[in-house]
Structure 1
């Protein structure tokens, strides 16, 4: 059997699922009815023939079909439907295993989740998450910007009033836990466009790794910070971070314009970093012996801004870049020409974000300004001349559910069919490309118009900018937006 169709979150009533209809008042209760047809029908057989309400079966069934259509028309889809005056969205708690929102002084455009030492495949509650983010303060208060090293703890499971827990003590811990956001501030003088973390393992395995962050700022600088002491201070109360520890270990100024493209290589533990700017230039920076060195020969080929960069998960010298020129290009860092090996036109609008599957290295997802996101098989991409894009192959899958720009996209870390997508329509959606409906399920979902069966979940999040899966808490998603941070885990993933 295929997976159930999309669960739409944000309805005023409980969301409909495939083949289900809302219960009417009184369903499941013992009630006494006055037999108003007692004089009209003389036998039980006559009553059954006329139907329970005295009407012929055909007339009653026709009304039930009309009622069902009215219910389906009332299904609220965030990003598609508009709220009426005085209406507000509230999440359907039955669709979530965990749901928390945490606010900050200033919104953040970008953040990254930091892998910790608490263990992999964590399924117990309350949950704990370590992360780092950069703020977007008002322009007149640019000096108030900061990097926030964060510890989110006390993230409890949703209350289940109808659920019996065999372990009452554990249940009490889950229900009584209060979410806590602890932060350590690192001052910066500009808005953070994008931030990514990188862990360098220690020779002594008993010691925590050294964690660096790379930050692309609005003033075109790339700041490298060592946030190891900030992370350590969460577990050692009373620790004081001195001013020197909050200064960047390196400030890179090779870019002439600001940028948003940034990624660490997974194959160089000491640190190898790619950064791309609005001029279309991509630079490679490497750390050797504690010294950060940038190759002054940029990779060139994009005719407009570089919006995103991702290293290959399997090839140590290969990376892909996305641009507002509508292309995705694949590069080899060993190339002396500094030109792309493959260039494919994937959109007629800006390609804002890309994500390389960690499970299947031939799968690449793209998200564009027109709201379309697609999945591509890189085995179908052929080498092209340096200055011309190859003929566009057909995507493995493509969806235009979102009607605003795609702002973030990321493959599930352990499932090669599930993707998280954030968009400018204030939604963060989860998709399963493996879903195929059979005939019966197709009939059940036919009334929910314009909702692809691969859409698993719609989460409303104001002005959502970026989302990430937690690599150690299966199914946990974190997002950042105009209203702060959201952390959730659904029942369906």
Structure 2
């Protein structure tokens, strides 16, 4: 949550290294050429001018030191910034983390009545590539209430998402009228509509529309919920969205309070894994995986949904996450507590995986994300806190006896289980991750170690342990469960935790 920036010297030459994080702020003291800037913008005299001045002094008999005392040079080294490195530093008894808003373009926190383990972003008709503020976002979430009967599926509308006011932004302005109204630091508005849900919601996934915007009004907007009761419900949340945007809109409870379809294939087995295929409204496909290692496919027809009875059965433990291939409509990937990642083709007889990584992590593989731009890349997060990126071109057929491939990248920054991971929707080298260590981290695989900086020593305590691919660390939430990029507001990230939602946009992405 702060910008990591430090100044040091190497053989007497100043240098500056910057990287984004989230806890403190500091002002650079060197210019882009590596020279110290004159804060007073004084002109520097040449040696010739100084010589002439000395000569004039001898003629006039005046010693300049008698008029202006000599300026003593300071041997003090600029203090390194106070940056909190998770896993390296420990907060003292009376210490708290303070976010550095200079590294945020936008940052809002929103409290809710009940924690939401899972949420998904709903597409809207406000346009793609939105850069203007204030912004608006829609999400759907499911609650974990203290009693089963109190749980709900909720559609939230986040509006008045203003640009974050920077400290001192107005100090250099000669005209107060020049202030941009978009920079006002105001509270966001959180509105919602809800429907009752039997039992806590383990995971929520919204139907990906055929186009980049909200499905037409004539079509339902489907959302699936994995309930702790072992059932998967499919809902039409379009009326909830319409009621948020239309004054005086009256919800028809007979339409909204009952699911469109309920999948009973899993019996009483609870589950978390779920993903919709990106397809048209008349050919929806939904995969669901349970704690008993079974995966079921549900499809849609013009007359309704159809849950297929034969499961996919190559995992030996709980199925934790599922992702459809972004390029092959019949292929999907899954990960499991059996430490493996499996690749499947729904056309295969026997419902067995066609390829896989037998030991992808040292512990449970909790989450995966399939890159939608570079479709041979898949990133995974494990219970041991590791993040790994895989080249699926190196994954061999199941049962081939070939050794598991080596990940193309591996990081062990997080100190607790990875709870969520997702590739950036328009940048194929960037992904976001969330962990049970209360961190949301942003990564860029395109960043490489700068050999020119090696051997220069640490600029602040613990920086040598920071991977160069780590762009940003967002903190401040407790028990973070899920993170998603907003596909229509570039660079914006939404996360859910036990204490509510955060939505932010950083200067790093």
Question: Do the structures match in fold with TM over 0.5?
Answer: yes
Change (3 A) 1:159 1:348: same
Alpha-carbon distance in structure 1 between the residues aligned to 2:314 and 2:185: 55
Return the match for 2:230 from 220, 234, 251: 220
- Shifted more, 175-184 versus 185-194: the winner is 175-184
Alignment match, 2:110: 102
How far 1:291 moved relative to its partner?
1.3
Secondary structure of 1:458 counterpart: strand
Alpha-carbon distance in structure 1 between the residues aligned to 2:17 and 2:232: 45
Alignment match, 1:124: 132
Alignment match, 2:248: 238
Secondary structure of 2:180 counterpart: helix
Matched, 1:318 2:327: no
Return the match for 1:420 from 432, 435, 438: 432
Matched, 1:115 2:123: yes
How far 1:85 moved relative to its partner?
1.0
Secondary structure of 1:371 counterpart: coil
Alpha-carbon distance in structure 1 between the residues aligned to 2:182 and 2:153: 32
Alignment match, 1:367: 381
Alpha-carbon distance in structure 2 between the residues aligned to 1:43 and 1:17: 33
Alignment match, 1:162: 169
Change (3 A) 1:169 1:154: farther
Matched, 1:171 2:180: yes
How far 1:146 moved relative to its partner?
0.5
Query: CA offsets, 1:182-217, max 9 Å, x none?
Result: 110110121111000015569x98646521000001
Alignment match, 1:291: 304
Change (3 A) 1:286 1:323: same
Judge conservation of contact 2:208–2:279 (CA < 8 Å) in 1.
no
TM-score by length of 1: 0.85
Matched, 1:192 2:201: yes
Alpha-carbon distance in structure 2 between the residues aligned to 1:398 and 1:417: 14
Change (3 A) 1:168 1:236: farther
Return the match for 1:479 from 474, 491, 495: 495
Secondary structure of 2:343 counterpart: strand
Return the match for 1:407 from 396, 405, 419: 419
Query: CA offsets, 1:43-79, max 9 Å, x none?
Result: 98xxx999625xxxxxx4xx63xx75xx36x531245
Alpha-carbon distance in structure 1 between the residues aligned to 2:314 and 2:367: 18
Change (3 A) 1:464 1:80: farther
Return the match for 1:381 from 395, 412, 422: 395
Consecutive unaligned residues in structure 1, runs of 5 or more: 21-26, 31-41, 54-59
Query: CA offsets, 1:325-382, max 9 Å, x none?
Result: 0000000000111000012121120000000001100000000000000111001111
Alignment match, 1:255: 266
Alignment match, 1:328: 341
- Shifted more, 438-447 versus 172-181: the winner is 438-447
Judge conservation of contact 2:208–2:277 (CA < 8 Å) in 1.
no
Matching of residues 61-72 of structure 1 within 5 Å? 64=77, 71=80
Secondary structure of 1:210 counterpart: coil
How far 1:136 moved relative to its partner?
0.7
Alpha-carbon distance in structure 2 between the residues aligned to 1:398 and 1:290: 46
Return the match for 2:239 from 226, 229, 243: 229
Query: CA offsets, 1:11-67, max 9 Å, x none?
Result: 4xx2588999xxxxxx9479xxxxxxxxxxx998xxx999625xxxxxx4xx63xx7
Return the match for 2:474 from 459, 464, 467: 459
Matched, 1:450 2:471: no
Matched, 1:430 2:442: yes
